[in-house]
Chains A and B, each alone.
Chain A
């Protein structure tokens, strides 16, 4: 499944908020087509790492590249780069003043300059793919959380990104809706999308991802395929983490 050129690289990335070091010397290579899960306790720096990949946070040291291009600081260059990076947020962040269909069409229309008809066709295909074609004309407020999150995934996919980032996409959902979102993500991984997923859903990690990256206090302390991570983690912190989730 892996190509030679990595889709995403982090090289000695450092990020501080004030005097709090949130990411400390983080290096990681993610191959094209790979799906990785980022795990770690709350505050360990997972979201920050993800947000450094599409430049929502600027880094204080090291280098991040996506698709061979450096993630810099210039807003203009970042906007161009972000076309190829989809992001799904914990709180969905759909645009409440637009219909579902318009949410999905916005970036293809305005950023890619696609024409209205093609954008709509694509939006409908994607809504079909995430299983809610009938909601195209509704407003986000009229959808359940799970449906909103699936729209958010469709919206990100509409730009045909090379990489998809997910920041705890199911953490704000009622339990009965988690499944429907994870199913969409699983299909996406199977189709060969490069994915970086921050999640506490270890079932998903075990079955779907190629590799688990475990963060602790801003450092990567473990990187392993899921079966190895769950059965034979090398670091004490990772074993502790695994024990906790397995025995809960």
Chain B
């Protein structure tokens, strides 16, 4: 306990630019999370539509894809992509990544990192979407069909607007998970906050490279953890707010006061 609370062990926080160094790296995590989220949402929606499509081969293929990728560890996907990525892809990205991107996002492994995050999260989100769409009462689709709307029109005007709205809270909480998962790309040498933390802990006590003030890894990682707790707590508050708003909105839709038995139709 003494070790943990000893002010000397926390001095690194206010030494030189250590704090800025970590915060800047944390920003990389947030950027990776947002990029991966946007892509995963798009891919996930396509997969979900595939999983509810009528042609059986499409449906089965989409379902199998989703079930495989959401049931294997994300870190396995990331490592595999990084290790199997051909040299040409690495070179392509290091050469042609837009210059305005931060260094970490121009790393030769970033495509593998983001690719893994998207592969895994799109499968998870597809399942969320599918459930959101299927939870729509069958009556909604039948009412649209009875009006003469085509399959695509039913999807576009009736099913998706309601399904997507229901998924907003779940998507925000998935963003929390994704945010945490961005730390995994540190394992493939991308300079985000965990890796920066390790650099700090490894070098900060070194009078030649660091500031000469020791930055114990325990303290650095507690600090990094705190950054995530704060950012994700804010997100989870947002998610909960959206959720109550959503359930209030749905609850006000009058449901039948008396139905003698569960009607099959």
Identify the A interface with B (CB < 8 A).
42, 47-48, 51, 54, 56, 75-76, 78-83, 85-87, 89-91, 93-97, 106-107, 110-111, 140-145, 148, 152, 155-156, 159, 167, 171-174
Bound Cα distance A111, B149 (Å): 6
Chain B, residue nearest A83 (CB): B148
Bound Cα distance A66, B139 (Å): 22
> If A42-B261, A47-B265, A97-B161 touch, does A82 touch B146 (CB 8 Å cutoff)?
yes
B179 to chain A, nearest CB (A): 29
Name the contact of B139 in the complex, choosing from A75, A89, A106, A145 (C-beta under 8 A): A89
In the complex, are the beta carbons of B256 and A90 less than 8 A apart? Answer: yes
Q: Does B49 contact A (CB under 8 A)?
A: no
In the complex, are the beta carbons of A93 and B143 less than 8 A apart? Answer: yes
Name the contact of A79 in the complex, choosing from B140, B142, B145 (C-beta under 8 A): B145
Q: Does B86 contact A (CB under 8 A)?
A: no
B162 to chain A, nearest CB (A): 5
Bound Cα distance A242, B260 (Å): 20
Q: Type the 1/0 row for B74-92, where 1 means its CB is closer than 8 Å to any CB of A.
A: 0000000000000000000
Interface size bracket, B side: 20 to 34
Name the contact of B137 in the complex, choosing from A82, A93, A141 (C-beta under 8 A): A93
Chain B, residue nearest A84 (CB): B148
Chain B, residue nearest A75 (CB): B151
In the complex, are the beta carbons of B257 and A174 less than 8 A apart? Answer: yes
> If A106-B157, A111-B153, A145-B257 touch, does A96 touch B146 (CB 8 Å cutoff)?
no
Q: Which residues of B contact A94 (CB under 8 A)?
A: 143
Q: Type the 1/0 row for B242-262, where 1 means its CB is closer than 8 Å to any CB of A.
A: 000000011011111111110
A80, A110, A142, A152: which has the most chain B beta carbons within 10 Å? A110
Q: Does B263 contact A (CB under 8 A)?
A: yes
Q: Does B165 contact A (CB under 8 A)?
A: yes
Q: Which residues of A contact B148 (CB under 8 A)?
A: 79-83, 107, 111, 159
A160 to chain B, nearest CB (A): 11
- Which chain B residues numbered 22 to 80 have a C-beta less than 8 Å away from chain A? none
Q: Does B147 contact A (CB under 8 A)?
A: yes
Q: Type the 1/0 row for B120-155, where 1 means its CB is closer than 8 Å to any CB of A.
A: 000000000000000001011011111111110100
In the complex, are the beta carbons of A47 and B147 less than 8 A apart? Answer: no
In the complex, are the beta carbons of B143 and A167 less than 8 A apart? Answer: no
Q: Which residues of A contact B149 (CB under 8 A)?
A: 79, 106-107, 110-111
Bound Cα distance A82, B161 (Å): 23
Bound Cα distance A142, B255 (Å): 12
B257 to chain A, nearest CB (A): 6
Q: Does B264 contact A (CB under 8 A)?
A: yes
In the complex, are the beta carbons of A106 and B147 less than 8 A apart? Answer: yes
B80 to chain A, nearest CB (A): 41
Q: Which residues of A contact B139 (CB under 8 A)?
A: 89, 91, 93
Q: Which residues of A contact B137 (CB under 8 A)?
A: 91, 93
Q: Which residues of B contact A81 (CB under 8 A)?
A: 148
Q: Which residues of B contact A95 (CB under 8 A)?
A: 140, 143-144, 157-158, 162
What 4 A-B pairs come out closest when comparing CB atoms? A172-B256, A93-B143, A83-B148, A87-B146
In the complex, are the beta carbons of A111 and B147 less than 8 A apart? Answer: yes
Chain B, residue nearest A108 (CB): B147
Q: Which residues of A contact B261 (CB under 8 A)?
A: 42
In the complex, are the beta carbons of B256 and A96 less than 8 A apart? Answer: no
Chain B, residue nearest A81 (CB): B148
A157 to chain B, nearest CB (A): 11
Q: Which residues of B contact A82 (CB under 8 A)?
A: 145-148
A71 to chain B, nearest CB (A): 13
A93 to chain B, nearest CB (A): 4
In the complex, are the beta carbons of A140 and B253 less than 8 A apart? Answer: yes
Q: Which residues of B contact A42 (CB under 8 A)?
A: 260-261
In the complex, are the beta carbons of B264 and A171 less than 8 A apart? Answer: no
* 13 cross-chain CB contacts under 8 A: A47-B263, A79-B145, A79-B148, A79-B150, A86-B146, A90-B263, A91-B255, A96-B253, A97-B165, A111-B147, A143-B254, A159-B148, A174-B257
